[in-house]
Amino acid sequence: MSAEPAFVSAARKSGAAAFERLGGLPSTRQEAWRWTNVQPISRIPFQAPAPVHGSVDLSGLELGTMRLVFIDGRLSPHLSVLPETSGVRLRSLLAADPATVEALLGQTAKVDEHPFTALNAAHLGDGAVLEIDADVQAPSPIELVFISRGLTPGSTHPRVLVRLGAGARAQVAEIYAGISGGPYFTNAVTEVTLGEGAELEHVRIQMEGARGYHVGTLWAAQARASRLRSHVFSLGGLLSRSEVSARFDGEGGRCELRGLYVGHEQQHLDHRTTLDHASPGCTSREVYKGILDGQSRGVFTGAVRVREGAQKTDASQSNKALLLSEDASAEATPQLQIFADDVKCAHGAAVGQLDDQALFYLRSRGIPLAEARGLLTRAFAEEVVLGLSVAPWQRQIEAALARKLGGVEVRP
């Protein structure tokens, strides 16, 4: 067996030290984790999963022609497809050029500020590295698929590194799925660097197993006039936390954040966004929606910071949650810090139930009550789903919603 690259041991050492300085896993006494108790993760003896023997059936996923597939944190070469494309380099992290990985690793992720990012570094294993040269457009959507079998209480810590040169364009989806009912823990960190005028559509589809724990963090740095479109879909897992943190490092950038979380039974789905308007003339748009049934709980925290000198900032944020049962709950916390005077900043949050008048209208047209509720619930989600530009990803979300919402008993 070949020795691991030197950057792996260095990252693990610095990550472990940072995790210790931060005091280990966060507690609800910390404001950023006020609504989410992650201590159950520490009570399960997670280990590195055993190597995969035999095949894994992925027929339930509609996968594209350019992808990396990881099973329990290990690259599966026979399930991955890597066509040769000029100007586009996609490799697993452990197979990529070490100098490239060292140059990208830790460039946007703040290991000294975020305990799960530090934990990811402390257990750094495999992941993906995507580089796209200046003015090159990826010929097809790129998929990074992470499958957890959940056969034993295992943990994986994938790291994804994405760098787009000036004027480059790409569509990238990270897909996380569980294929059995056992407990497991996925702690993923993605670092994105966008050159001047680059455009990235990034999608995270979280469909973990019923007893899975998932923490996914995206760190992005945007150069002048670049554009980031982030879509987060949180559908699975017993407890999940998704974070998106983007920083404008040049004028004229644009960032669009969209999210949809659908909770059932006792799921806990937490989302946190942080937009750092560090440069003037940048625009950000956020739309997050939650559908919560049973005893599930949804949490959204949206932080926007407009730094001194970041004039002509235009930022808006919207979070809406739909409660389908009396026992479901939602928390929304907008956080605005504005240190410039020539800005446009707005936010809104709402929690409610299905509209009685709309239900009456549909029922008066002969639509049964359960079907009417289903139609209104799906319509609530469509604004986020239809924002996807890749049809297969949209179909995958639609199918997952049909499975999940189709089994929901909506109370009168």
Give the per-residue pLDDT at 2. 56
Q: What are phi and psi of 280, to 5 degrees?
A: -75, 160
Query: Rounded distance, CA 125 to CA 131, Å?
Result: 19
The single-letter code of the amino acid at 245 is: S
Assess if residue 29 is contained within a domain. Answer: yes
Q: Is 339 within the bounds of a domain?
A: yes
Task: Classify 354 as helix, strand or coil.
Answer: coil
pLDDT digit string (tens) for 216-269?
A: 999 999 999 999 999 999 999 999 999 999 999 999 999 999 999 999 999 999
pTM: 0.94
Q: How far apart are CA 318 and CA 282, in angstroms?
A: 18
The string of pLDDT tens digits covering residues 179-191 is 877 899 999 999 9
Retrieve residue 182's tokens: 């056992």
Residue for token pair 């359960």: 370
Range of the domain at 231: 6-357
pLDDT of residue 412: 36
Given a cut of 50, whether residue 327 has pLDDT beyond it is yes
**To the nearest whole percent, how much of the chain has pLDDT over 90?**
81
Tokens of 252: 């004229």
Per the prediction, the chain carries an average pLDDT of 93
Decide if 148 is inside a domain: yes
Any domain includes 185: yes
The b-or-e profile of 259-273 (16+ CB within 10 A means b, else e) is bbbbbbeebbbbbbb
pLDDT digits (tens, 9 = 90+) for 81-120: 999 899 999 999 999 999 999 999 999 999 999 999 999 9
- Using DSSP's 3-state secondary structure scheme, residue 84 falls into coil
Instruction: Give 364-372's long-range contacts (Cβ < 8 A, gap of 24+).
Output: 369/412, 370/410
Decide if pLDDT at 11 tops 50. yes
Number of structural domains found in the chain: 1
Is residue 386 situated within a structural domain?
Answer: no
Outline where DSSP puts E strands in 1-120: 67-71, 74-75, 88-92
pLDDT tens track for 129-179:
999 999 999 999 999 999 998 888 999 999 999 999 999 999 999 999 998
Is 57 part of a structural domain of the chain? yes
Give the closest residue to 56 by CA, choosing from 148, 175, 121: 148
Q: Do the domain assignments include residue 363?
A: no
Residue 278 included in any domain? yes
H or E element in which residue 399 lies: helix 391-406
Q: Which of residues 299 and 52 earns the better pLDDT score?
A: 299
Provide the pLDDT for residue 300: 97
SS3 394: helix
Residue entry with tokens 């990550």: 15
Instruction: Give me the percent of the chain exceeding a pLDDT of 70.
Output: 97
pLDDT band, residue 386 (cuts 50/70/90): very high
Q: How many CB atoms lie within 10 A of CB 153?
A: 16
pLDDT digit string, tens, across residues 30-57:
999 999 999 999 999 988 887 776 678 8
Q: Cα(240)–Cα(381) distance, rounded to whole angstroms?
A: 19
Residue 76: CB atoms within 10 A of its CB come to 18
Strands, E assignment, 252-388: 254-263, 268-277, 283-292, 297-306, 313-323, 329-338, 343-352
Q: How far is CA 198 from the centre of its chain?
A: 20
